[in-house]
C-alpha cells in the first residue's frame, strides 16, 4: 500500500513510518519540520521506499500533486501541534496548524481522489469528564477545555461532515479516528525516540533529571482525590499505539466511519511514574511539589472495550517500567535527542 504520513518526522508519526516500511509499504512523509526532525528520514531510508516532502499541509494543491505522483491509497494524519499550555497562549496558531491545515489536507485528498484516512485525535476532546465516565468510553461527552482539544474536535467534525456529504453523493470516503491517551516509550530496537523542544511530557522530563540535564521534576498538585494525591493518567506504549493504526488501516473499508480510544485501560499516578523512572535508571530523581495546574482532571484513563472487540487491538506493553525502559535506552544513547 502507498501511505502518506503527515507529521512523519515527529515522535508518533516517525514510529508509524518505521512500522509501515518494515511491513513492506511505500511511505511518503510530509512534514513542515516545525517540531519534527529531518534526521528521522535518514534512519528510515534503509528500511524501504520512503520519500520526504517538506511542506505545509494547508497548501492543498502541492499536497494533492504529491498524492497523485505517489498514487497514495491512504493517509495517516499525525501532523499537529500538541502542547496544551501553548494552545492557551497561542490559540490562533493551533487553529491554523491543526484545524486549517487538516482542511487543506482534506481538500488535497478530494482533489487527488484519496478516500481513506486514519486520524490522530486525542482524549483532550473529552475535557474534564464526570467521574461516571471514568474509565472513559467513546460515548463520553466531548467538552474540551483548551484550544488544543477544540482544534482536534473541529477536525473530527470536519471528517464526519465530509463523510456525510460524500455518502449523499454516493461517493466513497472512509475514516478511523483514534483518540489517544498519554503516549510514551520508544522503538525497542533503539532506532528512533521521543525528542521535543520544549519538553513537557512527564517521562522524558524524569529521564532528563536522571541524566543530570535538569535539576528536578515538578509535581503539579499533590492534593487530588487519588491514592497518593497526584494525578492519574493512562500511558500507552508508542509501538502499541502504532499497532492500533495498522489494524485501523487494514480493516478500513469504503464508507466506514470508526472512532476508538487508544489506551491500556488503567492509570498510573505521577508519583508512580517518577518512582518507576528512578527504578529503571538507577538514579535519584529530585522532586519539587508545586501547585495544581488549572484544568488538570484528577483521573483520566481509557475504557478499551470498543477497540478490543471491534478492532481486535489490545496493549501488549502495559507494564510501566517496561514502557519507561524503552525510552531510557534510546535517551541514554541519544542524550541530546536527534541534535
* Residue 235 among the catalytic residues: no
Burial of residue 238, with CB atoms counted within 10 A of its CB: 0-12 exposed, 13-18 middle, 19 or more buried: buried
How many CB atoms are located within 10 Å of the residue 310 CB? 12
Measured between its terminal Cα atoms, the distance across the chain in Å is 32
Between CA 241 and CA 219 the distance in angstroms is: 26
Cα–Cα distance between 210 and 115 in angstroms, integer?
46
203/171 Cα distance (integer angstroms): 44
What pairing do the DSSP bridges indicate for beta strands 257-262 and 268-269? unpaired
Name the phi and psi angles at 268, rounded to 5: -120, 140
Residue matched to cell numbers 509499504: 25
**Other CB atoms within 10 Å distance of the CB of residue 232:** 22
Q: How many CA atoms lie within 13 A of 118 on its CB side?
A: 26
Q: Using CA atoms, how far apart are residues 92 and 234, in angstroms rounded to an integer?
A: 29
Closest CA to 292 of 225, 203, 215, 193: 225
- Annotated catalytic residue, options 11, 94, 148, 180: 148
DSSP string, 181-213: -EEE---TTSS-----SS---HHHHHHHHHTTS
Residues designated as active site: 148
Amino acid at each position: 500500500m502507498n501511505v502518506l504520513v503527515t507529521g512523519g518526522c515527529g515522535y508518533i508519526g516517525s514510529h508509524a513510518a518505521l512500522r509501515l516500511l518494515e511491513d513492506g509499504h511505500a511511505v511518503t512523509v510530509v512534514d513542515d519540520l516545525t517540531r519534527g526532525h529531518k534526521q528521522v528520514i535518514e534512519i528510515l531510508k534503509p528500511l524501504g521506499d520512503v520519500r520526504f516532502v517538506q511542506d505545509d499541509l494547508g497548501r492543498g494543491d502541492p499536497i494533492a500533486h504529491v498524492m497523485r505522483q505517489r498514487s497514495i491509497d491512504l493517509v495517516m494524519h499525525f501532523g499537529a501541534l500538541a502542547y496544551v499550555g501553548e494552545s492557551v497562549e497561542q490559540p490562533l496558531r493551533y487553529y491554523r496548524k491543526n484545524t486549517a491545515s487538516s482542511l487543506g489536507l482534506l481538500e488535497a485528498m478530494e482533489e487527488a481522489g484519496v478516500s481513506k484516512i486514519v486520524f490522530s485525535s486525542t482524549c483532550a476532546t473529552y475535557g474534564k469528564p464526570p467521574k461516571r465516565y471514568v474509565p472513559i468510553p467513546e460515548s463520553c461527552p466531548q467538552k474540551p477545555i483548551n484550544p488544543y482539544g477544540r482544534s482536534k474536535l473541529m477536525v473530527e467534525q470536519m471528517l464526519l461532515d465530509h463523510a456525510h456529504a460524500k455518502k449523499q453523493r454516493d461517493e466513497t470516503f472512509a475514516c478511523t479516528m483514534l483518540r489517544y491517551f498519554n503516549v510514551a516509550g520508544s522503538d525497542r530496537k533503539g532506532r528512533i525516540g521521543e525528542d521535543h523542544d520544549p519538553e513537557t511530557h512527564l517521562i522524558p522530563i524524569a529521564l532528563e533529571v536522571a541524566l543530570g540535564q535538569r535539576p528536578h521534576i515538578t509535581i503539579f498538585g499533590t492534593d487530588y482525590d487519588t491514592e497518593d494525591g497526584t494525578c492519574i493518567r493512562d500511558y500507552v506504549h508508542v509501538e502499541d499505539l502504532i499497532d492500533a493504526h495498522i489494524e485501523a488501516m487494514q480493516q478500513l473499508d469504503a464508507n466506514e466511519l470508526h472512532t476508538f480510544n487508544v489506551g491500556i485501560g488503567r492509570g498510573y499516578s505521577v508519583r508512580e511514574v517518577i518512582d518507576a523512572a528512578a527504578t529503571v535508571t538507577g538514579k535519584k530523581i529530585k522532586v519539587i511539589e508545586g501547585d495544581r495546574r488549572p484544568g488538570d482532571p484528577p483521573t483520566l484513563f481509557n475504557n478499551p472495550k470498543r477497540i478490543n472487540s471491534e478492532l481486535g487491538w489490545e496493549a501488549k506493553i502495559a507494564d510501566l517500567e517496561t514502557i519507561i525502559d524503552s525510552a531510557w535506552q534510546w535517551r541514554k544513547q541519544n542524550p541530546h535527542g536527534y541534535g
